[in-house]
Structures are given as C-alpha cells and as structure tokens.
Amino acid sequence: MKNIKFISAKEAVKIVKSNDRVHLHSVAVTPHPLIEALCERGRNKEFRNVRIQHIHTEGPAPYADPELEGIFQLESFFVGANVRKQTQSGYADYIPVFLQETQRLIREGYLKVNVAMIQVSVPDKFGYASLGTSVDATLAAVEKADTVIAIVNPNVPRAFGDAMIHINEIDLFVEDDCELVTAEPGPISETDRKIGRYVAELVEDGATLQMGIGAIPNAVLSMLGNHKDLGVHSEMFADGILPLVDKGVVNGKNKKTDKGKMVATFLMGSKKLYDFIGDNPGVAMQDVKYTNRVNVIAKNPKVTAINSALQIDITGQVCADSIGTRFYSGVGGQIDFLRGASLSKGGKPIIAMPSVTNKGISKIAPILTPGAGVVSTRANIHWLVTEYGAVNLYGRTLQDRAKLIISISHPDHQEELDKAAFERFGPHFHFVWDENDD
C-alpha cells in the first residue's frame, strides 16, 4: 500500500489540460474544492475546451456559466436545477441515456475520461476508502480515467458494496473536511398526501420498493408504517425510509437478491441519512450497472417502482425530461425500473404525479407539448396515480386508457380532455364501456 501524500486542490487540478474530459463525482459528494480550483484556472484562460461530465451535482456549477464559454463544455447525463438555466440557454448540453447505461458509455470507451474528480472517506488500515453516498457511474470513471484526483474527507461515510475502492486506484490526494451537501425533507402538501395514500394502497406486504426524493415519495413512505417485510432496491433513497427501518417495516426479508440489504447507487438527504449508511452492512451502495439493470431488478418479488412525470397524454405517453423543447431533468432510471417492475412477479410500475402544475395547468394533456420527449412509451405504463385516484392502464385499449386517465384528471380540465378524446377517436368514444361504470 502506497503512502498518501496530500497536495492542494490548486496543485492537483494542474493535471487538467485543453481538450480533456473531466468526470465529477455526483450529488452529495460533489467535489467542490476541486471544482473551484479548476474554474479558477479556467478564468485565467490556462486551457480551452475542457469537457465536464457528471450525472447530477449539487451546489454551485460555475463551469456551466456563460462567462466560461469555450473554456468548459458541460455534457451532463441529467439536467439538475443548478445547470437547468444554462442548459436551456444552450451554454451547457445534455446526453440522453438510461441511467443504467451511463457507466457503459465510460467503460466501453464512448466517452473517454481523462480526469476523474471524486471524494472518498478516510482509508482504513487495509487501504480501502469509500465513495460514500454516490457510486453511480463514478466507479466506472475511476476505473477508466488516466488520472484520479480524490478529496479525502472524514465527512464521507464509509459505505459498503461497490463503494469501496483501494487507494492504489487514486493518483492525487487532496485533504478537506467540507460538509457534504444535504437536503432536508420538505413539507408535504394535501395533494401529496392524497397521492401518497393512493400509492400506499398499491404497496403489498413483502414488496421491494424503488422511489426517489421529494414530497410524494415521502408521503407514500409515511403511510407504510403498518406494512410488513418491505425491501429496498432503488437507484436512490432518502430520509423518508429511515422511520420504516427503525420500526422494522423495511427489513428486506422477502428479497431474492441482496436479502436483508437496502440497495442504492446514490443518496441525497440529511446528515442523519449519511450517518445511517456509514459502516452499515445492511446497506449496499452499488454500481449503477447493477442497481438499474432490468433483469436484476426483476428478480425481486413485488417490485413497486414509483416514478413521476412532467406530463402525460391521454394515451399514456409520459414525458419526464422536458417541458416542450426545454430540458428540465433527464431520462434517468425511470425506464430501468418500470421495465424491472413489470417483469417482477407481482410487480407494479407506477407513475405518480399531481394532476396540475403549481399554476393550475393540467399535466394530463390531449397530446404532449410539441418538442416534449417521450421518456416512457404507452406500452411501459401500468399504474397512473394523481390526487384523484389510481388507474391501471396495462392491457387497455387507447380509448379505454383515455377514459381512465381523464377520470383522474383535475375536474376543471375533464370536459376539455373529454372533448379532445372525442375529436381524436370519433363518436364511438362516448360509448366505450368500462366495467367500473356499473
């Protein structure tokens, strides 16, 4: 095991040269000291055309600012809030890709990584450090990068699974004790509670859960306290899961893979969440090629995958990455888990969303807004949930689907949607019978 020699962030980023591609560790462990040092070099015009690559970072993203045009070019796998305006303005760009395949782009050489910038925990006596709260595609970048720069930070939790890497895989070491980026759970609205209640009713005892961060997942989790033997296999989880672990509701007893373990590829939440995964053998932070692989997901029983959408049309096409032509987020892992849940024995793929936007615009539309991307096709959609109910579209005809979807739209918009369906499908639409009409 080699001895660690620490250098400053300014000295470490001198390795970056013009036309390099730099991969940044993501979410809570975004390596801000290295980013700041790199952007200082950029402002001094010490290089040009450095491509920045990451899934989703938290905190400032100065490399995407217009003032550094020509110095940096962001090519993200997901459009986070910190780079959304720059991406929509064309100063940053986006690579559409299933989350599971982000690592493949790196491992198979589609995207050559010259420098990987990461944060790790303090190495143990055997020389192993942990990638902590994010493994995702960063492990692939560590494996393939010409140079790996690591911030050794005591605040990075010592997570197990694929998160463990040996210090021999790291070339340059920087020491820092900055706090990880946190996200405290936000308030849950009455609309969120109604959606959460409908979704919770679909969750069976022994189910394996996949869900993200936000008010709707938290609302769902808050209503599962009387369930039994739930498991977690998800691309991420947040604080909402912790009370269920404390109560013994989440124990993974019914899982077929990683029995008894909670599996994720990244986390975002409070310091309490990060402390929870530290030295916890019950949590496996895994490579995204594993967490989001459809056949791995499908091995577990009753996989209940809860995802959201920006818009859905009356035939079931789901847009989850853009508002018209303006990119808002990304493809992410929605398809990975909708397919995995669909193929799981007793699985339930669910799209859950409010019926209207904060401005009262219906999120259920006759057709998707021109330019909107179809992230999940009609054939991928099973359960759709709004605050007005839950409907199962699987195996239903287009006209059946339209009837069901409109039935859980906001009442203020149902007449307009019904008229659009009539114009689309013809007068027979009003005679389509549903067994629930009796």
Ranges of each domain in the chain:
9-175, 190-430
Of 280, 262, 284, nearest to 272 (Cα)? 280
Helix (H) or strand (E) holding 303: strand 303-307
Residue 294 CB contacts under 8 Å (≥ 6 apart), including other chains: 100, 336, 339, 340, 343
| pLDDT at residue 86, rounded to an integer | 97
3-state secondary structure of 270: coil
Task: Write down the pLDDT at residue 436.
Answer: 56
Helices and strands in the chain, H and E counts = 14, 25
9-175 CATH? 3.40.1080.10
Mean pLDDT of the chain: 96
Contact (Cβ atoms closer than 8 angstroms) between residue 288 and residue 136: yes
Give the DSSP letter of residue 378. G
Taking residues 37-46, report their average pLDDT: 98
The percentage of the chain sitting over the pLDDT mark of 90, rounded to a whole number, equals: 95
**Residue at 217: amino acid letter:** P
> Is residue 235 annotated as part of the catalytic site, yes or no?
yes
The pair of structure tokens assigned to 79 is 């459009």
Distance (Å, rounded) from C-alpha 56 to C-alpha 23? 11
**Least trusted range by pLDDT, from 39-48, 179-188, 397-406:** 179-188
In this structure, what token pair is assigned to residue 26?
Answer: 């993501």
Q: Considering the candidates 58, 101, 235, 387, report the single residue annotated as catalytic.
A: 235
pLDDT over threshold 80, residue 1? no
Compute the distance between CA of residue 385 and CA of residue 254 in angstroms, rounded to an integer: 26
Cα 318 to Cα 10, 272, 333, 380, 435, distances in angstroms: 45, 34, 14, 9, 25
For tokens 């013809």, the residue is 426
Tokens 């995802």 -> residue: 307
> In the structure, what pLDDT confidence band is assigned to residue 186 with cuts at 50, 70 and 90?
confident
How many C-beta atoms lie closer than 10 Å to residue 50's C-beta? 24
Residues 6+ apart with CB under 8 A from 230: 203, 205, 206, 207, 208, 209, 224, 244, 249, 250, 251, 252, 254
The CATH fold of domain 190-430: Glutaconate Coenzyme A-transferase (3.40.1080)
291-313 per-residue burial string, b: 16 or more CB within 10 A, e: under 16: bbbbebbbbbbbbbbbbbbbbbb
pLDDT tens string 226-246: 999 999 999 999 999 999 999
When pLDDT is cut at 50, 70 and 90, the band that residue 116 belongs to is very high
190-430: same fold as 9-175? yes
pTM: predicted TM-score of the whole model, two decimal places: 0.94
Burial 90-121 (b: 16+ CB within 10 A, else e): ebbbbeebbbbbbbbbbbeeebebbbbbbbbb
Instruction: State pLDDT tens for residues 125-158.
Output: 999 999 999 999 999 999 999 999 999 999 999 9
Are the beta carbons of 341 and 347 closer than 8 angstroms? yes
Confidence check: pLDDT of 212 > 60: yes
Contacts with 371 (C-beta within 8 Å, 6 or more apart), sequence order = 322, 324, 325, 326
Query: How confident is residue 416, by pLDDT bands cut at 50, 70 and 90?
Result: very high
Pair 374, 322: CB distance under 8 Å = no
